[in-house]
Amino acid sequence: MDEETLKNAAREYQTPLYVYDGDLIVSRYREFAKAVASIGSKSRVFYAVKANSSLAILDLLRREGSSVDCVSGGEIACALKVGFKPHDILFTSNSKTREEIASAVSAGVNITCGNTEELDVVSEVCAEAGESARVSFRVNPDVDAKTHPKIATGLRDTKFGVHFEGDIAFNAYKRASELEGIDVVGLHAHIGSQITDASSFVESCEKLFEFALRLKNELGMQLEFIDVGGGVGIAYKKDDKPLSPEEYAKALEPAVKAGVESLGYEPTLYFEPGRYIVGPAGVLLCSVNSVKETPSKKFVNVDAGFNTLTRPAMYDAYHRATVLGKKGESETYDIAGNVCESGDILARDRALPKVVRDDIIIFHDAGAYGMSMASEYNMRALPAEVLVKDGVTHLIRERGTQEDLYRKQKTI
Amino acid sequence: MDEETLKNAAREYQTPLYVYDGDLIVSRYREFAKAVASIGSKSRVFYAVKANSSLAILDLLRREGSSVDCVSGGEIACALKVGFKPHDILFTSNSKTREEIASAVSAGVNITCGNTEELDVVSEVCAEAGESARVSFRVNPDVDAKTHPKIATGLRDTKFGVHFEGDIAFNAYKRASELEGIDVVGLHAHIGSQITDASSFVESCEKLFEFALRLKNELGMQLEFIDVGGGVGIAYKKDDKPLSPEEYAKALEPAVKAGVESLGYEPTLYFEPGRYIVGPAGVLLCSVNSVKETPSKKFVNVDAGFNTLTRPAMYDAYHRATVLGKKGESETYDIAGNVCESGDILARDRALPKVVRDDIIIFHDAGAYGMSMASEYNMRALPAEVLVKDGVTHLIRERGTQEDLYRKQKTI
């Protein structure tokens, strides 16, 4: 997106503002889908809604042929609202309420169970409703994804998935195959997010195929799909070297080919990219309220905070920051958010051109886990979102208002 | 609140649910106000709205005679809505928009500036509107509050306040005294949150009085108030030994007495408790969706996550957890949130009675920085809130709905 577009968007819709590049979202989706198709097996892409659950973005991806991976009843509701078919929706969460499960069963969504008790609830719900459910399990592959501990989801001690160890996963499949109303359709692992090392993906994929072979040999089970999850990282820093979808696909290819050959049938491969598709396609624009010099630092105080962009405070995450319409690196600043906590520093020790009040700071690569994690903490209304597509800037979410802050509340 | 009350609240309003004890809020407010009054100087209590910005709680405290400390235009709007008078509102934020400042000036709210550029904006706004503003500065006292780094706000390198060093604070006051439309009324420091060590409070208080003396001697300035901030901690763990308001007041007393004597006049002392008032008066109730045993751990999967209670994921915070209606410590569990991230563990390695599906877990001391930090991440609607007062349970915030999740959104 060129600077003129961003300037106009900030002028028209004010800041803080999330701006997404719809053309880039589409091209990244296509690049990813093409790369995983090149592995040679049947493949489907399930966009991970939690990365950015904007209806407009979901709709854009639906029109591209994407399916979706949802982690809650709310995400499923959003997906259905924009027109995804239930069979194109996966419901994968470590902790689902009975109501969420009942809605998913009645809609006909694919349910990925995270433990055997959840399977029991699915089965109970099916019995009550006289329906059946398409079920898979998330397994815990005990693979180290070498990413931030808070988003490494495939390790032995995490809350995710049924373990191979102690035959927990095997017994879960066995039990599922015996239960009324349960159609066992797939097998899933997801080892984490923002991963830049292909070997962890390969290791997880090999374990999935090995396990599918055991399910075939010992239970006579043939799976419709193997879901290898998401987690392909992006470049947040200039010198980051993330995996390209092509490298990712190439790395998986031998494991898939060997797996399919030993399996004797070809399950469809499911992929769940989220950050990869939308991360680099979004920026957060915020305005400079004041610039302040202290004896030890210079601070740029902006009109956004960790309620707007949570990743720096939550994960010590790095987002590139630039000044709209300015070049050079003449000063070093901390960019301070407006939340009343010391931890609310959006960027530390950044070389920027001289910043003055009313300048606009661009936080890059904020398309994923930006708006989706935003809150109204400190009673600041949620930001607006715009989507730029084919040269046109569309408001896709109106800015929150002060009335929103006390909606549904009453005094006694 | 007794177990019956909590059980009924969960049954009537479902989970996740924040439940507040209004009687305890009132008694803690009274205890705090009485303790600081015992110092012997005129004193006022400004409840820190960011801790819990529920309108019903604000209204309860207003009726007790509390004033409020606000950090945003949104918090000010909430305070005005429940009937606080502008003069009983402080506006203290490190980064204020021009619009927030304009609203504060036009309402007549006390403005605490965090840097000199903000002072310029206040002055510009006053000139444009033909109004004047009651202004103080937050100073950076360079005091180590010995608390979590993300909430230690009085250190030299934080974004908060004008520094004594290099005469930055002095020059700010000098400039303020010369500007049209600016009434310099006070002096403020806030060294952090969840502080259990009195010596940091004393050190900060001494520095404030010393500086007030310099302002008197060199600028002939007499302040209406000295605002010593908030930060009195609470017991999250059973064996925590927080300061009582009485101990806090007793610790400050010598510094205040000596300060007033050397100053030769008596500024009103302002206090800004937040967590102390509401923290122990709130619990989060959540339901158990499933219990899962892995080779290394047992997990209790609940229907809340870090989108409901952010503190464990954000600050590694500890909240006591118990099981409603059950006693004993027969098993060790991790209580896992429903957010799709490994970091979403609400409590680790807790000894609890045997937990089964549909049990209700109580997270204690969740009245502060619980609901105020909640988000709709993972597209889960915001929880409901109830306030129990004089034996009656009042719904003070309706549960969010799925429609809320896509309010204000549209596709293109």
Residue A7: CB atoms within 10 Å = 14
Cβ atoms of B311 and B364 within 8 Å: the answer is no
Interface of A with B in 274-293 (CB under 8 A): 287, 289-293
- How close does chain A come to B257, measured CA to CA in Å? 30
- How close does chain A come to B235, measured CA to CA in Å? 20
Question: pLDDT digits over B81-116, tens only?
Answer: 999 999 999 999 999 999 999 999 999 999 999 999
Q: Which residues of A are catalytic?
A: 340
Residue of B nearest to A120 (CA): B290
Which residue intervals of A264-398 are DSSP H helices? 275-278, 311-315
Q: Which residues of B touch A337 (CB under 8 A)?
A: 95
| Residue A322 to residues A15, A353, B163, Cα–Cα distance (Å) | 15, 9, 28
Instruction: Give me A9's structure tokens.
Output: 């968007």
CA atoms within 13 A of residue A273's CA, in its CB half-sphere: 28
Interface of B with A in 300-329 (CB under 8 A): 301-303, 305, 310, 313-314
Which of B55, B97, B411 lies at the smallest CB-CB distance from A406?
B55
Tokens 């290819």, residue located = A253
Using the Cβ of B7 and the Cβ atoms of chain A, whether some distance falls under 8 Å is answered with no
pLDDT attached to residue A150 = 79
What is residue B149's DSSP assignment?
G
Q: How confident is the model at residue B386 (pLDDT cuts 50, 70, 90)?
A: very high
Tens digits of pLDDT across chain A (412 residues) = 899 999 999 999 999 999 999 999 999 999 999 999 999 999 999 999 999 999 999 999 999 999 999 999 999 999 999 999 999 999 999 999 999 999 999 999 999 999 999 999 999 999 999 999 999 999 999 998 888 887 787 788 899 999 999 999 999 999 999 998 999 999 999 999 899 889 999 999 999 999 999 999 999 999 999 999 999 999 999 999 999 999 999 999 999 999 999 999 999 999 999 999 999 999 999 999 999 999 999 999 999 999 999 999 999 999 999 999 999 999 999 999 999 999 999 999 999 999 999 999 999 999 999 999 999 999 999 999 999 999 999 999 999 999 999 999 999 9
**Averaged confidence pLDDT in chain B:** 96
Question: Measured between alpha carbons, how far is A198 from A250 in angstroms, rounded to an integer?
Answer: 10
pLDDT attached to residue A145 = 83
Q: How confident is the model at residue B153 (pLDDT cuts 50, 70, 90)?
A: confident
Using the Cβ of A2 and the Cβ atoms of chain B, whether some distance falls under 8 Å is answered with no
Question: Measured between alpha carbons, how far is A374 from A317 in angstroms, rounded to an integer?
Answer: 15
Q: Which residue spans within A6-153 are E strands per DSSP? A: 17-21, 43-48, 67-70, 89-92, 110-113, 133-140
CB contact under 8 Å between A74 and B378, yes or no, is: yes
pLDDT attached to residue A280 = 98
CB contact under 8 Å between A378 and B71, yes or no, is: yes
Q: What is the CA radius of gyration of chain B?
A: 23
Interface of B with A in 206-265 (CB under 8 A): none
- How close does chain A come to B31, measured CA to CA in Å? 22
Using the Cβ of A397 and the Cβ atoms of chain B, whether some distance falls under 8 Å is answered with yes
pLDDT attached to residue B181 = 92
Question: pLDDT digits over B160-192, tens only?
Answer: 999 999 999 999 999 999 998 999 999 999 999
pLDDT attached to residue A188 = 98
CB contact under 8 Å between A410 and B56, yes or no, is: yes
Cis check for the bond before A16: say yes or no (omega within 30 of 0). Answer: yes
Which of B71, B163, B376 lies at the smallest CB-CB distance from A294?
B163
Q: How confident is the model at residue B148 (pLDDT cuts 50, 70, 90)?
A: confident
pLDDT attached to residue B225 = 98
Residue of B nearest to A388 (CA): B412
Residue of B nearest to A375 (CA): B375
Residue of B nearest to A334 (CA): B159
Which residue intervals of A38-88 are DSSP H helices? 55-63, 73-81
> What share of chain B has pLDDT > 70, as a percent?
100
In the predicted structure, residue B10 carries a pLDDT above the cut 80: yes
ipTM beyond cut 0.90: yes
Question: pLDDT digits over B313-357, tens only?
Answer: 999 999 999 999 999 999 999 999 999 999 999 999 999 999 999
3-state percent helix, strand, coil for chain A, nearest multiple of 5: 35, 25, 40
CB contact under 8 Å between B301 and A140, yes or no, is: no
Residue A298: CB atoms within 10 Å = 15
Question: Measured between alpha carbons, how far is B400 from B381 in angstroms, rounded to an integer?
Answer: 5
- Dump the DSSP string for B301-352: EES--TTT--HHHHH-----EEETT-----EEEEEE-SSSSTT-EEEEEEEE
Angle, helices A245-263 vs A22-37, to 10°: value is 30
Which of A56, A92, A313 lies at the smallest CB-CB distance from B410?
A56
Residue B58: CB atoms within 10 Å = 25
3-state secondary structure at position A74: helix
pLDDT attached to residue B145 = 83
pLDDT attached to residue B328 = 94
Supply the pTM of this predicted model.
0.97
Question: Measured between alpha carbons, how far is B99 from B105 in angstroms, rounded to an integer?
Answer: 10
Instruction: Give me A168's structure tokens.
Output: 């927990």
Cβ atoms of B193 and B118 within 8 Å: the answer is no
Interface of A with B in 104-133 (CB under 8 A): 114-118, 121
pLDDT attached to residue B182 = 97
Mutate to test the interface with B, among A159, A285, A407 (most CBs of B within 10 A): A159
Interface of A with B in 350-379 (CB under 8 A): 357, 372-379
Cβ atoms of B33 and B263 within 8 Å: the answer is no
Question: pLDDT digits over B52-63, tens only?
Answer: 999 999 999 999
Q: How confident is the model at residue B283 (pLDDT cuts 50, 70, 90)?
A: very high
CB contact under 8 Å between B150 and A291, yes or no, is: no
